[in-house]
Structure 1
Amino acid sequence: MTFVRDMLSRPRPPRIRHDVQLPRRVAYYPSPVDWRDEVIYFLMVDRFSDGQEDTRPLLDRRYLAAARPALPNGDPWRWDRWALSGGERFQGGTLRGIISKLGYLQRLGITTLWLSPVCKQRVHLDTYHGYAIQDFLDVDPRFGTRQDLVDLVSAAHERGMRVLLDIVFQHTGPNWRYPPDVPGGADMPRYTSGRYPFGSWVDAAGAPLVGIPDVNDAAWPEEMRTIDYYTRAGAGDLGAGAIDDPDAEHKRSDFFTLRDINLDAPGALTDLALCYKYWIALTDCDGFRIDTLKHVSFEQARNFCGTIKEFAANLGKANFFLVGEVAGGDFAATRYLDALERNLNAALDIGEMRLALGDVAKGLAPARAYFDGFVPGLAIMGSHRNLGSRHISILDDHDHVFGTKLRFSTDVMSQHHAAAAVALQLFTLGIPCIYYGTEQALGGPEPSERQWLPEWGRADRYLREAMFGPLHPRASGRAGIDPQALDTSLPGFGPFGTAGHHCFDERFPVYLRIAALAALRAAFPVLRHGRQYLRPISNFNQPFAFPPAGEIVAWSRILDDEEALCVINPNGLAARGGDVVVDAALNRPGDTMTVILNTAQAADPDGYDGLYPKGRQLTVRERNGTSYVEIRNLPPAETLVLTNRP
């Protein structure tokens, strides 16, 4: 396309208003008809792949200690050094690395990638997460180039996959400082309901800028150096104030050292929207995950999302996907979905529902703890979840705003337990999102070693292991832009507390099970679009009732005359079973339901000789007017799916 060729033939534009002529009425890659048909995979660019896994061995999980080498200076492995590496260094993941793993992801059943923010960070800082932007029009050189990002989206589209970019329009990186005499200091002054004076822009080393800014100084594009574009209220309580108060403290406060943007300033919201329209036109991406949406007002969010959607529609992306991160649980997410209406497709389900999903999948809570969240009037967000298209189902993510900061697989009794949790995501209402590494059961080092880890369970770093297993992280600060410059005083933040070993294992039991689950979801529309019913269970001829924690969890999806019955055993140690209710109008006594998936068989298709192989028919029985099928001895953490229309 002319626009893409023009933009990539020269350095990134210094000004968004005067140096970028955005296209219109040009055919880009179209949006999906229904995002419920997608399976999203969220990855952190720095922690996923560097494309050089063929230079490192696959991690042997039986011998983790052997993958904890001494440092080059002879110092032995130290857990505090591994933890420091994970929290304060770029590990070396790149956009090119992601391209090299598209086949791995497609075979897993992924249809949409969600990338952590890729915009350029301050070069003197190690903000590997990407949420501290210095340049809104360029890719961070530690991740790659604009061309790499264009190539990644193009390569995904060639495979029929889509790409979501993670964007930030509520704050910037620490690109300027307050005056030194403000209360609390120049970096993070105490919150004020007024406005502090502006201090100074900072240079590439973080010192006060002297002279005209270079590409690594201050903020870019030039429009973002408008002083009135910043709230300048200091750092306050990020939870203070009412959700619908546009002047609440949580909507004006800096994010610690990250600078809040005053979106009410003339031109500020327009310029930021232009920056992100530029990324749509340049990359042909398919949607945005919008960071910290709770921290802008309803009106600001509505205007930003509206103009983005309208621009995308003019490029043929009529269903450009916008999903909001709204911290604060069901209430806050519901308020933004209601206020923004069609301008916001969905909200990330990162509050109470994420915790319920994990607890039910582990057998720690009864099935209703999760399924009641879909009931309008019973759960605050129930009416939105019941539509199936307004929420993204989340099991794990990169910061766990609710609960402990540990992955689902950190404490499970069965190695493949995560697959049962993902089955709940894939086969219940909503748009499922799998966090990178879930398919490899990432969960940190073995229990005996965790006592040595600082802030275990309380720090985001333990959610962010580097799957590609670098031997060392990149050098700190500006030196780390050179991919050959490594910090050899630290081990890489590799999987399961290792370094120098990757874990892209397509034979791993969780990977195999999730791939089978996702393939079934793709093949049967009932599992994506059907109505949903939690099913009562009976054991030992007792009355049918919703089961307590630890017993099998069963639910049906029904589409027209087709019923798919999904059954998981959340118990990680023991087999479970029961008589499971099915729809009496669709399944008469003597009819059959056919097994279309058994995850135990999917993990061992040639050697499986257990119960309920694919193709087995179960007879529908009747007791006191209730139709049911008998499920017996479903192994720990396994999933069965049956249908009356195989």
Structure 2
Amino acid sequence: MSTMFVVMTSLAQKPVERIEPPCWWVGMNNPNLQLLVYGKNIASAQVSINNPNIDLVGIDRVENPNYIFINLTVKPDAKPGSIDIKFTFPKGKPLTYAYELKARQAGSANRKGFDNSDVVYLVYPDRFSNGNPAIDQVSGYTDKVDRNEPYARHGGDIQGILNHLDYFKQLGVTALWLNPVLESNQPSWSYHGYAITDFYRVDPRLGSNELYKEFIDKAHAQGIKVVKDMVFNHCGGEHWWMKDVPMKNWFNLYPDYKRTNYRIPTTFDPHASVADSSLMADGWFDGHMPDLNQRNPYLANYLIQNSIWWIEYAGLDGIRMDTHPYCDKHFMAQWCAAVQNEYPNFSIVGETWVNYPAWVAYWQKDAKNRDGYNSNLEIVMDFPLMFAMHKAFDEKDGWDTGLARLYEIIAHDFVYPNPDKLFIFADNHDIGRFQRDSSQALGRLKLAMAFLLTTRGIPQIYYGTEILLPGDDAKGHGDIRRDFPGGWPTDSKSAFTPEGRTKRQNEIWNYMSTILNWRKTATAIHNGKLTHFIPENEVYVYFRHNSEQTVMVILHNGYQPKVLDTSRFAEFLSNKTSGIDIISGNKVENLAKIQLSPRSAMIIELK
């Protein structure tokens, strides 16, 4: 158990039960710190600090006398160590709380986030690997482990992910995004982690704060970055706040509630009614997920500091923000700016689950929005491209069908301030898997992966795609969040090793690993310009090019072999004599006529 929780436990029966953030750091760019203090009648206490490098700016008492907010300024000359916060009560003995200020890791402010040179692998912690069965059930946590129940906990944990860092390294991914790992002490369906009950504690059924930090340190030692999934729109109905709410306006539509209408366009629709746009932002995402009111300045500070705390404590490389448009959009812009103020090179991607490129573009930093809104959010999720991918490889090519769907979505890139800062994916934990069932042809998935890993943007792969793990959204979330075979000691086969995979699984694993490991040094894919040609005869050709490298990508969606006449690509091929297909490893001697196999991709590094 971490030091902060030892302190909390020791104070459990005393007037101070919680102080959050539980610690802080000297040398932050923003010297201001606001502490939430919770305890019985804590508002009756007088507070003092005797430290020349810490200014006690003021104490804010709110409507619930069990909360106060202490406003501090940590001066530039402040040194790491404990500062004594003294609470003096009208009755009873004074209490001194030792609050720790830590030293920052060298280079912390300049940490580099993930970018187009990375491929992010999304891991569902509860469904990936059980590395420590001893914590499957923890006292005080009622949701039980039952692998036969799709919506129960299955026992995957952080140790299980840590145990397989070599697997990620061999596959060729360079960053891991874990679905939420914070405490979700809900009576049921707690496995998904999106109903958080403590924003400063890793769920003990997944591990501990220290183990999470150890996992990140060891991932970094393998050259793998870590992205934390955060949720600011809501918390879990069993969050400790719900037992003693700080303020009436800490939550939206509380104590009665209405569900959100889920209509994100009302946040930017110039014709939207106030009723619709308010319900969109203030309605609850679900009945067991109270909607947080980020317009409350104390909650706003709390959430901003929570992000910075986890970045600094755990050494994060990025944040994925869940349900980004469902939060108060002006707060979210403030939050992005605050994080960037501390970490200018840090990466944040927001979940922007909308249908059209113009709707996604609204949420990207520096978009030319009619209402003047600037989100400060650099990376947005390209759901329109994902939707197109799910259809493109199942259709015959037409004016706007088949491969033309990909072309047309990318042709919309003019609406984005920065189309290279799009987070692209074929599926994730909320979407039916691209491989809906295990019998689907490999050619379809190979085409999709070749495209995903070579077009513009930052690719994300959902765990199990590389072993043909199926999942149909028509069967619900439990089906698309299946256990990774071999992640449990009782599993009969382990897909973590070639011996435990079928021939088909090894074929797709090797295919993806070849592209992923080549991609690590393919600068044209990282930062090169994309030039594409209108799909013709079931073939989509595009080039990624910079001053160092030119790569020709050919996607052939047809079911018959054909010879591709490349004369229309002369602007890129006129000064090239040959190439290497990085998928097969074969040399392409004749660039004028290229032989295409049915339902196949070629990624040709031109010479």
Q: What's the TM-score, normalizing by structure 1?
A: 0.69
Match of 2:474 in 1: 457
2:101 pairs with 1:45 = no
Deviation at 1:366, TM superposition (A): 2.9
Match of 1:639 in 2: 601
**SS of alignment partner, residue 528 of structure 1:** helix
**1:361–1:424 contact (8 Å) kept in structure 2:** no
The change in CA–CA distance for 1:418 and 1:28 in structure 2 (over 3 A counts) is farther
Match of 1:605 in 2: none
2:157 pairs with 1:94 = yes
**1:396–1:408 contact (8 Å) kept in structure 2:** no
**Which one of the candidate residues 439, 442, 445 is aligned to 1:415?**
442
Deviation at 1:104, TM superposition (A): 0.6
Deviation at 1:327, TM superposition (A): 2.1
**Which one of the candidate residues 328, 337, 343 is aligned to 1:306?**
337
**SS of alignment partner, residue 461 of structure 1:** helix
Deviation at 1:615, TM superposition (A): 2.7
Deviation at 1:248, TM superposition (A): 2.0
| Superposition map of 1:135-146 within 5 A | 135-146=198-209
Which residue identity does 1:640 align to in structure 2? M
| Superposition map of 1:53-132 within 5 A | 85-86=149-150, 88-132=151-195
Match of 1:564 in 2: 551
2:485 pairs with 1:504 = no
**SS of alignment partner, residue 204 of structure 2:** coil
Match of 1:346 in 2: 379
Deviation at 1:382, TM superposition (A): 4.1
Write out per-residue CA displacement over residues 529-577 of structure 1, whole angstroms, 9 at most, x where no aligned residue. 22212235xxxxxxxxx325xx233211121374211113334x54344
| Superposition map of 1:412-451 within 5 A | 413-415=440-442, 417-444=444-471
Determine the C-alpha separation between the residues in 1 that align with 2:199 and 2:6.
18
Gaps of 5+ in 2: 12-16, 29-103, 134-144
| Superposition map of 1:511-590 within 5 A | 511-535=509-533, 546-548=535-537, 551-560=538-547, 562-571=549-558, 574-581=560-567, 583-588=569-574
Match of 2:266 in 1: 242
**1:579–1:631 contact (8 Å) kept in structure 2:** yes
Which residue identity does 2:578 align to in structure 1? M
Write out per-residue CA displacement over residues 329-354 of structure 1, whole angstroms, 9 at most, x where no aligned residue. 2343221113675721211112x321
**1:243–1:332 contact (8 Å) kept in structure 2:** no
Match of 2:345 in 1: 319
Deviation at 1:301, TM superposition (A): 1.0
**SS of alignment partner, residue 343 of structure 1:** coil
**SS of alignment partner, residue 116 of structure 2:** helix
**SS of alignment partner, residue 643 of structure 1:** strand
**SS of alignment partner, residue 170 of structure 1:** coil
Match of 1:594 in 2: 579
Determine the C-alpha separation between the residues in 2 that align with 1:141 and 1:92.
11
The change in CA–CA distance for 1:354 and 1:134 in structure 2 (over 3 A counts) is same
Determine the C-alpha separation between the residues in 2 that align with 1:369 and 1:18.
47
Which residue identity does 1:307 align to in structure 2? A
Match of 2:410 in 1: 374
Deviation at 1:471, TM superposition (A): 7.2
RMSD across aligned C-alpha pairs, in angstroms? 3.2
Determine the C-alpha separation between the residues in 1 that align with 2:197 and 2:453.
37
**SS of alignment partner, residue 286 of structure 2:** coil
**Which one of the candidate residues 289, 292, 296 is aligned to 1:265?**
296
Deviation at 1:109, TM superposition (A): 1.1
The change in CA–CA distance for 1:16 and 1:113 in structure 2 (over 3 A counts) is farther
- The total of aligned residue pairs comes to 486
Match of 2:590 in 1: 618
Deviation at 1:526, TM superposition (A): 1.0
Deviation at 1:82, TM superposition (A): 9.8
Deviation at 1:305, TM superposition (A): 1.5
Determine the C-alpha separation between the residues in 2 that align with 1:265 and 1:52.
40
The change in CA–CA distance for 1:568 and 1:363 in structure 2 (over 3 A counts) is farther
**1:416–1:510 contact (8 Å) kept in structure 2:** no
Determine the C-alpha separation between the residues in 2 that align with 1:319 and 1:292.
23
**1:384–1:391 contact (8 Å) kept in structure 2:** no
**SS of alignment partner, residue 35 of structure 1:** coil
**SS of alignment partner, residue 117 of structure 1:** coil
**SS of alignment partner, residue 604 of structure 2:** strand
State the identity as a percent.
Answer: 21
Match of 2:52 in 1: none
Determine the C-alpha separation between the residues in 2 that align with 1:514 and 1:412.
18
Greater per-residue strand proportion: 2
**1:39–1:112 contact (8 Å) kept in structure 2:** yes
**1:529–1:559 contact (8 Å) kept in structure 2:** yes
Match of 1:153 in 2: 216
Match of 2:116 in 1: 36
The change in CA–CA distance for 1:296 and 1:248 in structure 2 (over 3 A counts) is same
Determine the C-alpha separation between the residues in 2 that align with 1:110 and 1:143.
23
**1:42–1:434 contact (8 Å) kept in structure 2:** yes
**SS of alignment partner, residue 300 of structure 2:** helix
- Range that drifts further, 519-528 or 130-139: 519-528
Larger RCO (CA under 8 A, 6+ residues apart)? 1
Determine the C-alpha separation between the residues in 2 that align with 1:565 and 1:321.
29
Determine the C-alpha separation between the residues in 2 that align with 1:106 and 1:115.
16
Match of 2:416 in 1: 384
Determine the C-alpha separation between the residues in 2 that align with 1:323 and 1:442.
26
Deviation at 1:436, TM superposition (A): 0.6
**Which one of the candidate residues 22, 25, 37 is aligned to 2:25?**
22
Write out per-residue CA displacement over residues 459-511 of structure 1, whole angstroms, 9 at most, x where no aligned residue. 22221111045779xxxxxxxxxxxxxxxxxxx9xxxxxx6544324461111
Which residue identity does 2:149 align to in structure 1? S
Determine the C-alpha separation between the residues in 2 that align with 1:582 and 1:155.
49
Q: What's the TM-score, normalizing by structure 2?
A: 0.73
| Superposition map of 1:483-494 within 5 A | none
Determine the C-alpha separation between the residues in 1 that align with 2:475 and 2:8.
41
**1:596–1:641 contact (8 Å) kept in structure 2:** yes
Match of 1:230 in 2: 251
Deviation at 1:409, TM superposition (A): 4.6
The change in CA–CA distance for 1:433 and 1:456 in structure 2 (over 3 A counts) is closer
Which residue identity does 2:595 align to in structure 1? R
